[in-house]
Amino acid sequence: MALCFFPTLSGCTGESPDKSGGADATRDAAIAAEAAAQETAAREAARAAVRTRAALIAASLDDRRLTAQVILSGIDGRGRLGRDMRALLEECPAGGIVLFRYNLDTDVESIQNLIEECAGFIAAKTTDAPETAGIPPFVAVDHEGGAVNRFMPGIAALPAAGSYWELSRREGQDMAIAQIEADSFSAGAAINTFGFNLNLAPVAEYLTEDNRAFLEDRSYGPDPAFTAAAAAAFVRGMERAGILCVAKHFPGSAGKDPHRFSSTLYSDRVGLDELIAPFASLISGGQARALMISHTAALARDGNIASLSAPIMNEWLRQELGFEGIIITDDFSMAAASGQAAASGQAAASGQAAASGQAAASGEDNTSPAVLAVQSLAAGADMVLVWPQDIRRTHRAIQAALGDGRLSRERLREAAERIIFEKIRMDIINGE
């Protein structure tokens, strides 16, 4: 008889192999799968509950407050609201405010005081019941990092996006992505203490020969995959700090500054799909809760600029890419929106004139920010960015369009629901 030195081996013992290990692994995998399914179901149920609550709040708004909810406005003032600004916000308790260098070129306490006063005033004007909290506004800032920093030096410092591309080349992509998220969280935590809850960043466009002169180091570099990963890391960091991000500028920028020139993308559909790859990645990965739509014409999709284009916002963004978040426009006083090119006389993109549509009943210029805002909302935007001098005209134009049928109440409620949903999700509106 052969001597067996390893009695646990079946060949020596004559016993069947022990299958309990495999059975345990199968059972553990099934338990894990069931737990994951329950977690997903709970998450979806929670989202559905928030959507229901957002819909109820939107449906409760009268026309004046409903039309105000879709406005993101700059404000005048430093340290406190002036009388004229308070009067504007009393008439139009905007869904969001955005602060610029002229508001923020001061000490931290003055910034906090202005935001607290403004947010509290707006929230109080969104309800008739003193015992209810109302709907606080988004409080936004452009804080991309680098040169796009509205604060005094040393406050919420954040490197330029392009510097992380250089870091990735020196230290590797993993190192750069981790650094982006850490820096984003740090800056987000700082601006959150001031009262901000919305950041008009990051730029999710990768550098091309066409957009390089305009974007420069505002972009994360020339690699689409790195840009997508970098933008996602920026969003993660900001959201951990309580800041909702607005990725921009969909579907992309052309070579010249849209504040001064018209902007057109001449790529075919395949080229456009390549150009928006980082945005598509953010959407599919769940990091795109809000996007800024540009005033660029993407001719392979539509002759109108993106911010006035239903084919771009509804068909491309919503239906094809599956975007469910807030579409926010860029500033409608920009030359790329109005078609008024700079002194060079550069013409607006072909087909842009068709976007001018019906002017307001007052006879207002059909390229004014107020008229363009109405057209943009009708085409699918959820929130329009305006300057303080345009608040009243824009608000009244939206109300007039609601009254005469150019804007449906369903369209405005849909937009307001998306805005309110994110305010609940980000705890800007307190949970129940």
- What is this structure's pTM? 0.86
Structure tokens that stand for 74 in this block: 């700059």
H, E, C per residue of 244-285 = EECEEEECCCCCCCCCCCCCEECCCHHHHHHHCHHHHHHHHC
Confidence of residue 4 (pLDDT cuts 50, 70, 90): very low
Q: Let me know how long the chain is.
A: 432
Nearest Cα residue to 232 out of 245, 215, 219: 245
Average pLDDT over residues 91-101: 97
- Give the DSSP H or E segment for 327: strand 326-331
User: Can you read off the two tokens belonging to residue 375?
Assistant: 């057209």
Q: What is the pLDDT of residue 26?
A: 84
CA distance 151 to 420: 28
Would you say residue 378 has pLDDT above 60?
A: yes
Task: Write down the residue that tokens 């452009």 correspond to.
Answer: 142
The answer to whether the CB of 329 falls within 8 A of the CB of 384 is yes
* Rounded distance between C-alpha atoms, residue 331 and residue 363, angstroms: 22
389: nearest Cα among 361, 370, 365, 363: 370
pLDDT of 152 strictly over 90: no
Q: Kindly tell me if the per-residue pLDDT of 256 is higher than 90.
A: no
Q: pLDDT by residue (tens digit) across 292-316?
A: 999 999 999 999 999 999 999 999 9
Instruction: Please give the structure tokens belonging to residue 306.
Output: 């993106």
Q: Measuring CA to CA, which residue among 313, 334, 326 is closest to residue 387?
A: 334
